[in-house]
Structure formats: structure tokens, C-alpha cells
A and B are shown apart, each in its own frame.
Chain A
Amino acid sequence: MGVEGIGARVARKEDKRLLTGKGRYTDDMSVPGMKYAIFVRSPYAHAKIRSIDATAAKAMPGVIGVLDGKQLLADGIGNLICGWMIHSKDGSPMKMGAWRPLAHETVRYVGDAVAIVVADSVAEAKDAAEAVVVDYQELPVVTDATKALEQGQPQLHPEAPNNLIFDWQIGDPAATDKAIASAAHVTEITIHNNRLSPNPMEPRATLGIYDGGDEHYTCYTTSQNPHVARLVMSAFYNVAPENKLRVIAPDVGGGFGSKIYIYPEEIVCLWASKRTGVPVKWTSDRTEAFLTDAHGRDHLSKVKMAFDANNRIIGLKVDTVANLGAYMSLFSSAVPTYLYATLLSGQYDIPAIHANVRTVYTNTAPVDAYRGAGRPEATYLLERTMETAARELGVSPAELRRINFIRSFPHQTPVIMNYDAGDYDASLDAAMKAADWNGFAARKAEAAGRGMKRGIGMSCYIEACGIAPSAAVGSLGAGVGLWESAEVRVNAVGTIEVLTGSHSHGQGHETTFAQLVADRFGVPIDSVNIVHGDTDKVQMGMGTYGSRSGAVGMSAVVKALDKVEAKAKKIAAHLMEADESDIVIENGELKVAGTDKTVPWFQMALAAYTAHNLPPGMEPGLKEGAFYDPANFTFPAGCYICEVEVDPETGVTKIIQFVAADDFGNIINPMIVEGQVHGGLAQGIGQALLENVHYDPENGQLLTASYMDYAMPRADDLPSFKVSTSNTPCPNNPLGIKGCGEAGAIGSPPALINAITDAIGNNRLTMPATPQKVWAAAHAAN
């Protein structure tokens, strides 16, 4: 692997910049004449807009313009859309209500934007925003998805009667019902997956610049996928044609999914820049982020899992209601369907599965993908059900899982997915050993002596990454293909630029992508630069989410490297008068195998550009591009074990140990992978113990709109993690990579909740398992 090649623990190249405050984020961008925007937002969760009067605001000091939704409509700016078509089981298409970037008729959640104020300073813009008089007629509110489906509830969109967006199913209902009817045992459980706020460290921001000379727009934005942003803004929102719109996502301080989507603010700032004639910058404050960043999760599911007399699962039936908030965000429909229900087979050989999913409008912020996106929901549901079943059946949780593990690959599940490789026993064994599972009884007894309740819980997760074969996702309703692009440019003196359509916002691409090149050509990673995040530099790409940058993005780089390598060898062979097939590349040199003839890498590159002595007919230069379309999803899997101690007097849960044993396929940089797991675990533990978006059900006000009330995990909430991997390479991509970005957040919540319910001897517990809930459950009968 070499010290900087594949598998090396290379320190992150980007950290010097990011850790010394030299990162360049959207809010750091400044252009001549730039002005500041503040959005006027609805204080009501549901209301009709009778009128908007900006007369006083426009007259305030420093104000350049106040624009509203009627003007936006008049200028032909389109609705925000959901880009993944789902059909209900009756064949009808999903019922998408209109989402205007600036509402001009109805507001549907607290924070819905109704106007933009552009002024010389943020303070002046805020003053003027307060002076914009919006006359609202309040309407009744519904925030709970199950309730929103009932008769007589407030209706959000005329397109969606009873607030139902779609009623979708997957799997075989008849076979599943039959299995349940014939079962020796059926475990039934209701599973609630709590709503989360994404909380990236950097809040969203955008800078819209209109150049009247060229009729050209530039959009700096906090995006995980600038090309998708450009595509959508051109094709659907009618902002500008693609050749007149450059989107730049510079350093981005975390996304976790919430920065995949195109939000109203980018569109409105670009449009406002043209309308006002000045560049317009907007930066979200933290409360705006809580109010308007797309939330995650919010599922309620009823589950039946059927077992035969040998404790083999014979059927699984799931009925889920998913809250999508007030509007359908860009990928919202895919999350509770193809990213969720297709994973309901877990690591188990289940012959019959049926899942029904209803998605619902409510007067809350839009809900879309958040770290894991559907897979945490599937894993939490399955792994809590498995643990509950083990307790009901009187089998050890490990044993019940082993009885049902899939052991031969490829494995076709009843819910679309075809697992290509895995070794679930290996992860389970590794985790149990690392956790000293067998010594638990003694530790529990010792804790009991101190009046503490100790518990242990596990979770065997599987997820699907590397999203995904374009034809497959197209057939399932995706509006885009999910391939990735790469371009490798060897400069005349041999340094290398790799352009990728994926986007790094914490994942460390500047290091890991460079490691691929170092590994291939033996050049130092310092001679390799990774270029991403700018539609003027990288032609097209699909961005970063769903742990796809390794499996898909790097595969594209490998394809481009193959082409560069082939041409470099041809040039070297020509220079050394050798046969192309005898050339090997090692330590930055091209050698003729078995001889002492070599050409340094830089000399070969120079030869490509001087073009004085190239093979006949060869084009000068050394630059190759590739598009890679994945052959399948990848299937990372693993086993997580959590051990806790509950204080029965207060209900406080202390995590004693947390073990993560993952199978990520081949690993490029183990240090970065561990960092991804640590971060994912922190988020999963946050979901399980602390985090919850809380709306007042009466009026739709967000009660957790700051860190005073929204509990984020902190360092002292977390133990020191024990992480390890036992890897089976993915057979479907050139590097054998599966993906690691979301696993921690997917696998950890059920392990933790299973540990708490084990400790307190009561299975009725919902996330977040706050001290109050744990205390109440510990003192209630199961």
C-alpha cells in the first residue's frame, strides 16, 4: 500500500486549512457591491396571506429592496419539486402540493418564507424585515402524521386529500399474511422513530450574483451536490439555463443530508440579485436552521414478525406512517420507500415481507434524508423487533440472529435488494468478543450491588450504499441517474489534478481520493489536488450522500486512472523503445520490467505535453475522464453492542461501553473510516438518548428552536468507542468498497435502546430515552 497509498492512515490534507480557520465557506465569500438578505418568515404554522405591505420597510435606512412571492411568480420562477416519483398501490402518482420559494397565498409551517429584504447590512435588513406588514388569517394546524390522516383535520394542499401524499407498498401481502397466520409465534411491536434536526456545524448560506453584462448567474451555496443544484434550478425552477448558471459549493461545514436539497433561499437570492442589481448574501442563523433545514426520520410503524417452531422468521409485516412535513423536499419520497422498506430483510433470510407506507403532509418543516436516510428507520424497527422476539421466545439475542442470518451470496431478498457479499457471523463474533459478552452477567451482578441496573443490547444492521445503478433508480422513479464522473489531469511536470463530481463536506476526499493516485503511480499525495464543488470546473456530477463517494465516486476515478495509466505506459514504452506490456509504474517511475531502464513520471508527463516524441498518431497531453455507473448497491453491515448502566432513582443512562464491528469492504484510509464511525455513533446515540424535534401540537410552534431545548450529544455523553472492521470486499466495484459514512448512525440506536430495555426489564420505551422516560419505564410494569 505504501505510506500514502490505499489502506494507509494518512493524516487529512484538508485539516491544516480547516483547523486553522483558513477554510473558505460560503459566508466567507465577499464580492464588490455585495448586500445582505433577511427573509421574512411566517410566525404561524398555517395561515392564509391576506396582504403583504412593504411600504414602510422599503423606506427604512439602508434598504435596497423588498420582494415578495407575487413578484417571484410574475417573473416565472417555478415551484420547488420532489425529484423522485412514487406511485401509490392503486397506481396513482404521488400528490405533490405546490411549494413556492416565497409563499404568496398560504404559509404551511413556522418559518415558511414570504418575502426577502435586501439591505446594506444584516442589521438594517433585520430592522426592515420587522417593518414588513403581513396580514395573516390563521388556519387550524396539524403536526402529527397519524392524526393528519384522520377525517376532519386541517388540509394542507388541495392536491392531497386527507393530507395523504401516497399509499405505497412493497413485497407480497398475501404470502406475508399467510406466514403470520401459520406462525408458531408472532412478535408485535409499535416503533416510533423520532424526528431529528440535522445541525451541521455550518448553517446554510448562499450568495447570489447576477452579472447583467453576460446575463449570467453565480450561486455560492452550502451544497452537497452543486451540479444537482444547477440542474434543478435550470430545469425546474426556471432561474437560468445551465450555461448561464455557475454553482459553487466551496468548503462546506457538514451536511448530513440536509444540504442535498435546493431550498428557497438559493433561488430567491439569485432572483433578487437580478431584481435589485446587487449581489445578495444570506446566512442562516441557528434558529432559522432549526426551523427550515429539512428534518429527518419521524416514522410511526406497526410491526408483526412471524416465527416458525424453530425460531426461524417466516414473515414480516410493517405498516408505516411517515411525516413529510409541509412540502415535499427534493428526495423526500425516496426516503421512506426505496431507501427504507428495501432494507427490511436486514441480515436475515426472510421468505415473505410486506411493507405499507403512507406519507403525510403536516404543518411542520419538510422532512428528507438525514444521515442514513430510511436505513436507520429500517434497522431500528428490525433490531428492536428481533431483541423483543428473543426475549419473548426465551432465546439469546445472538442465537436468534444466528438462526436467521443469510449465509450464502448473492442473496435476493423479497424487497428488491440483492446482497452481493457479507459475513454476518464474523461481525457478530468480533463484537461479542470485543464487548466481553460472556462476562456480562458478572458485571451486571456487580452493578446491582451498587444499586445500578446494567443492560446489554445488540444490533445487527445492514444498509445499502453507493446509490445506485442509474437504470435501477430510474425504474423506481428517480428523476436523475446516480452515476459519478471523474477527470484526471496530469500536468506538464507531472503533478495531478483529480476532478470529481462528488463533494466533500467533512468526509476527507482531498486525502482519500489522492491516496488512490499515490497508490497507482507512486507519486506523493502532495502532488495530487482534488478539485470539486464548482460547476465551471467539474462538468457534471451527482454529489455526496448515501455513502456513495467511495463506491461510486472513487470508481469513476479508478476508471479515469486506468486510461491515464494506459496512455502513460504507451508514452514511456515509446521513449524507452520497449514494449508497452513490459512497462510497470512504481515509486513515481515508469520502468521496463526486468531491466534498469526507467523514465521518471514527470519526464513522461513532459513528453506528453512537448509532444516532440510521441508514438505516431497519439494526441498530445495527458488528461482522461470517465463516468462510472454502479452495477449494484453496496451492502455494508455489522454488529454493534452497547452496555449501559441505568440509575433507577433518576433514570439516567450511562453508556459503559460501545462496540462497533463493521464490514465496509476494502478501506482506503482506516483513520478516516474510524472518524466516520465515531461521528455516526455520536449522531445515533444522540437520536437514541437526547435529540427530538418537538412541535406544539396545538399551534405548530417549534419548541426546540435553539440549543436551550434541542439536546445535542456532547463529548461527555459518549464513551470511548471500540471500533473494528472485518471486511468482505464488495465484488461489484473496482476497489471493493462498500461505504462507511452512515453506518454508525444506522446501527447504534437499536443497540442502545435494547441495552436500556434489558437493564430496566421493560420494553416500552421510545426515543429519545430521556431520563424521565427511562425512570418511568423502569418503575412501570412491562
Chain B
Amino acid sequence: MYETQYHRASSIQDAVKLRQAAGEGKYLSGGMTLIPTMKQRLAAPTDLVDVRQISEMKGITVSGRTVRIGAATTHFEVASSAELAAVCPAIAGLASHIGDPHVRHMGTIGGSIANNDPAADYPSAMLALDATIVTDRREIAAGDFFTGLFETALEDGELVTAVTFEAPAKAAYQKFANPASRYAMTGVFVARRDNGDVRVAVTGAGSNGVFRHKGMEAALSAQWSPDALAGVTVDPSDLLSDIHADASYRANLVKVMAKRAVAAA
């Protein structure tokens, strides 16, 4: 690790100010991605602005069917919130399968979506739940937020403070874990609104990161059942090929995981 300055922010404004004052600064949340990257000398921020102690950014509130999760909320907190499980067990279940207990007690939802690892779990939930990403300066629809591999709509120094969404009528996440890293080799989040609208978001498989599958959404909007997906094809040409799995296999997984998610929802 190269030398760096550590700052602990006490409020959202404080964090943004510290970050602006820094040379090549970075926000630090759970550190589960950033710290290993720094240890391997692949990142060299001059300053780290720790946002985990900012109370406005922590915790889960559920009012009616409206959910707000602070950006500094850990995966463990999301996985174990009874309030959240009552309205959206799918996202709690997703969080319970991220990494291992250490990672879940440190890693945060804000860090995960800001990082937008193409194999991360949360981005698919955000997209399928049509969540809103709240920052220090604006609100961004999930559909506009995830822009590519490790790319988001965040501006330099912009801080994710929370995510909000309306709990769906039904939802489920099915993850096919990479045998080595146990990140998603393909993960599919399906969500169905009371009005019958369906969103299907796929992570781990797209060559440009998380994406929605419109064909499956149409089929499931017409008929909410695993069988409805039988005739849908998944085009491998936009999918990732790597040493673990090629695009044709991922295309198969997208469909199988989607079917299983619908069955589980």
C-alpha cells in the first residue's frame, strides 16, 4: 500500500468537503474492495474519507412500502433486517449471500453500487426494483446510474447517501456463484409490481455490466410463471466470455436463473 491520509467524516457535507480538499481522494466505506486494491498497489488515493460513521447514511427505514437504505448500511444489516424482510425478502436474501461473514459485516450497499463491479449482486436488485440512488446533490434512477463496467453516473466527488425503492409485489434473486470468487457468474433479480409490470435485471453476465432483459420482462408481464420464459431466447453476443464461462453458457444461466427466480418469488 502507498502512503495515504485517513479522514473520518462526521456528516455528508463534511465528507464532500474533505473529499474536495483532497488531491486524489476517495471515499472509503466498508473498504472490502478499496483496501485490497490499495494493498495490491492498484489504487493510490492520497486521501481516504471514511463515510461509515455518518449517521444520516446508516440504517434502514420502511414506511408503508417505501424503503430507504442508507449507503453506509452493511450487507449484514440488510440481510438481517426484519422490517425489510417483511416487505422485500428478496433483497435481504441477496445480501445474505454476498461474500462471507467478514465481508458482510464490513461491506456496504453504497460501496457496492458505487463500485459497480460487473459481478456484484446489488446492481441487479437496484435495476429490477427501479430504485433511486440518492446522492449529496441529486437523485438518480437506477436505470441511469449503472453505465458500464465499474462505471456509474456519479460525478467526481459525488457521494451516494442512500437508495430508495417501492417494495414490489413479488421478487426474488437467484445467483449462480463463480466457483472461485463466489461473486455472481450470473445473477438474476426479478421483480413484479402490483400493476403487473415486471423487471428482470441480470448481473455477472453482461459484457457491459448489469442489464435488463426486455424479452423476459415482456413474457413475464404477459404471464408470471417460469414456463413463460420457455420461448424466450437470450442472445449471447452481449455476454461475457472469460476463463470461467463463455457467453453461450452464461446465456443459458441467465434463462435458468430467471426461471428459478420466478419460481422462488
Task: Tell me, in angstroms, the Cα distance from A127 to B249 when the chains sit together.
Answer: 43
Contacts of A710 in B (CB 8 A): 180
Which of B1, B2, B181, B245 sits near A772, CB closer than 8 Å? Answer: B245
Let me know if B34 is at the binding interface, CB within 8 A: no
Shortest distance between the CB of B242 and any CB in chain A (Å): 9
Give A contacts to B, CB under 8 Å.
123, 126-127, 130, 287, 649-651, 689-690, 694, 703-704, 707-712, 770-772, 775-776
Residues of chain B with a CB closer than 8 A to A771's CB? 176, 179, 245, 249
- Find out whether the CB atom of B1 lies under 8 angstroms from the CB atom of A123: yes
B256 and chain A: residue at smallest CB distance: A649
Q: Could you say which of A127, A130, A708 contacts B181, with CB atoms under 8 Å apart?
A: A708
- Once A707-B180, A707-B181, A708-B181 are accepted as A-B contacts, the answer to whether A775 and B249 lie under 8 Å apart by CB is yes
Q: For A649, what are the chain B residues with a Cβ–Cβ distance below 8 Å?
A: 252, 256
Which 6 A-B residue pairs are closest in the complex by CB-CB distance? Answer: A711-B180, A772-B249, A711-B179, A708-B181, A649-B256, A772-B245
Q: Would you give 12 A-B contacts (Cβ < 8 Å), ordered by A?
A: A127-B2, A287-B40, A650-B256, A689-B179, A690-B179, A694-B243, A703-B243, A708-B180, A709-B181, A709-B244, A711-B180, A772-B249
Q: Judging by beta carbons under 8 Å apart, are B180 and A772 in contact?
A: no
Interface residues in B37-71 (C-beta closer than 8 Å to A): 40-41
How many pairs of A and B residues are in contact by the CB < 8 Å rule? 46
Assembly CA distance A651 to B253 (angstroms): 10
* Cross-chain contact B249 with A709 (CB below 8 angstroms): no
Among B40, B41, B243, contact of A709 (Cβ-Cβ < 8 Å)? B243
Given the interface pairs A707-B180, A708-B180, A709-B180, the reply to whether A772 lies near B256 with Cβ below 8 Å is no
Residue of B nearest to A649 (CB): B256
| A708 (CB) vs chain B CBs: closest residue | B181
B158-209 with Cβ < 8 A to chain A: 176, 179-181, 183
| A126:B243 contact, CB within 8 angstroms | no
Contact present for A770 and B256 (CB under 8 Å): no
Residues from chain A with Cβ under 8 Å of B252 in the complex: 649-650, 775
Q: Give the Cβ gap from B107 to chain A, nearest Cβ, in Å.
A: 15
Q: Which listed residue (A287, A704, A772) contacts B246, Cβ 8 A?
A: A772
Contacts of A287 in B (CB 8 A): 40
A712 to B178 alpha-carbon distance, docked (Å) = 12
Task: Write the chain B residue with the least CB distance to A692.
Answer: B243
By a CB distance below 8 angstroms, the chain A residues around B2 are 127
In the complex formed, the residue of A with least CB distance to B100 is A714
Contacts of A650 in B (CB 8 A): 176, 252-253, 256
Q: By the criterion CB–CB under 8 Å, are B249 and A776 in contact?
A: yes
With both chains docked as a complex, state the minimum distance between the C-beta of A702 and any C-beta of chain B, in angstroms.
Answer: 11
Give the residue name and chain of the A residue nearest to B253 (CB). A650
Minimum distance in angstroms from A122 CB to a CB of chain B = 10
Q: What are the interface flags for B230-265 relative to A under an 8 Å C-beta threshold, 1 for contact and 0 otherwise?
A: 000000000000011110010011001000000000
Whole-angstrom CA separation of A707 from B178 in the bound complex: 11
In the assembled complex, how far is the CB of residue B219 from the closest CB belonging to chain A, in whole angstroms? 18
CA distance A776 to B244 in the complex (A): 13
- Closest chain-B Cβ to A688's Cβ sits at a distance in Å of 12
Contacts A650-B253, A703-B243: A126 and B179 contacting too (C-beta < 8 A)? no
B245: A residues at CB distance < 8 A: 770-772
Highest count of chain A CB atoms <10 Å: which of B41, B179, B181, B249: B179
- Taking residues whose C-beta sits less than 8 angstroms from the other chain, chain B's interface range is 10 to 19
Across the interface, which residues of A come within 8 angstroms of B246, CB to CB? 772
Q: Is the CB of A770 within 8 A of B41?
A: no
Q: Considering only CB atoms, which chain B residue lies closest to A696 in the complex?
A: B243
Q: Which residues of A contact B40 (CB under 8 A)?
A: 287
Chain B nearest CB from A486 CB (Å) reads 43
Q: Chain B nearest CB: distance from A653 CB in Å?
A: 11
When the two chains form their complex, are residues B41 and A126 in contact, meaning their CB atoms are under 8 A apart?
yes
Q: B41 to chain A: which residues have CB within 8 Å?
A: 126, 130
Chain B hits for A130, CB < 8 A: 41
Task: Report how far A776 CA is from B253 CA in the complex, Å.
Answer: 12
* Shortest Cβ distance from residue B174 to the other chain A in the assembled complex, whole angstroms: 11
CB distance from A336 to the nearest CB of B (A): 25
Contact A770:B181 (CB < 8 A) given known A126-B41, A650-B176: no
Q: Which of A651, A689, A770, A775 is close to B244, meaning CB atoms less than 8 Å apart?
A: A770
Complex: chain A residue closest to B119, CB-CB: A708
- The interface residues of chain B lying within 8 Å CB-to-CB of A127 are 2
With both chains docked as a complex, state the minimum distance between the C-beta of B117 and any C-beta of chain A, in angstroms.
Answer: 11
- Output the least CB separation between B137 and chain A (Å): 34
> What distance in Å separates the Cβ of B108 from its nearest Cβ neighbour in chain A?
20
| Alpha-carbon distance A770/B242, docked complex (angstroms) | 13
With beta carbons under 8 angstroms apart, the residue of A123, A694, A770 that contacts B179 is A770
Could you say which residues of chain B place their CB within 8 Å of the CB of A770? 179, 244-245
Interface centre among A649, A689, A703, A776 (most CB of B within 10 A): A649
Q: How far is the CB of A127 from chain B (nearest CB, A)?
A: 8
Chain B, residue nearest A779 (CB): B252
CB distance from A635 to the nearest CB of B (A): 35
Complex Cα–Cα for A771 and B257 (A): 14
Residues of chain B within 8 A (CB-CB) of A126 are 41
How far, in whole Å, are A123 and B1 apart by their CA atoms in the complex?
7
CB distance from B92 to the nearest CB of A (A): 21
A704: which of B243, B249, B253 is its contact (CB, 8 Å)? Answer: B243
Look across to chain B and name the residue whose beta carbon is closest to the beta carbon of A768. Answer: B179
**Which residues on the B side are within 8 Å of A651 (C-beta)?**
249
Which residues of B lie under 8 Å from residue A712 when comparing CB positions?
180
Q: In the assembled complex, which residues on chain A have CB atoms less than 8 Å from the CB atom of B179?
A: 689-690, 711, 770-771
Known: A771-B179, A772-B244. 12 other contacts (CB 8 A): A130-B41, A649-B256, A650-B176, A651-B249, A690-B180, A703-B243, A709-B243, A711-B180, A770-B245, A771-B176, A771-B245, A775-B249
Contacts of A703 in B (CB 8 A): 243
- Minimal beta-carbon separation of B160 from chain A (angstroms): 24
Residues of A within 8 A of B249 (CB): 651, 771-772, 775-776
How many whole Å from A130's CB to the nearest CB in chain B? 8
**Nearest chain B CB to A768 CB, angstrom units:** 9
Which residue from chain A places its CB closest to the CB of B255 in the assembled complex? Answer: A649
Distance between B256 CB and nearest chain A CB, rounded to angstroms: 5
Cα distance A428–B234 in the bound complex, in angstroms: 47
A690–B182 alpha-carbon span in the complex (Å): 12
- Determine the chain A residues whose CB is within 8 A of the CB of B1 once the complex forms: 123
Kindly list chain B residues whose C-beta atoms are within 8 Å of the C-beta of A694.
Answer: 243
CA distance in complex: A649, B176 (Å) = 12
A709 to chain B: which residues have CB within 8 Å? 180-181, 243-244
Q: Report the minimum CB–CB distance from A412 to chain B (whole Å).
A: 44
Find chain B residues with CB under 8 A from A707 CB: 180-181
Query: Min CB distance, A173 to chain B, in Å?
Result: 39
Give min CB distance, B176 to chain A, whole Å: 7
**B185 nearest CB neighbor, chain A only:** A771
Query: Given the complex of chains A and B, what is the CA–CA distance between A708 and B119 in angstroms?
Result: 11
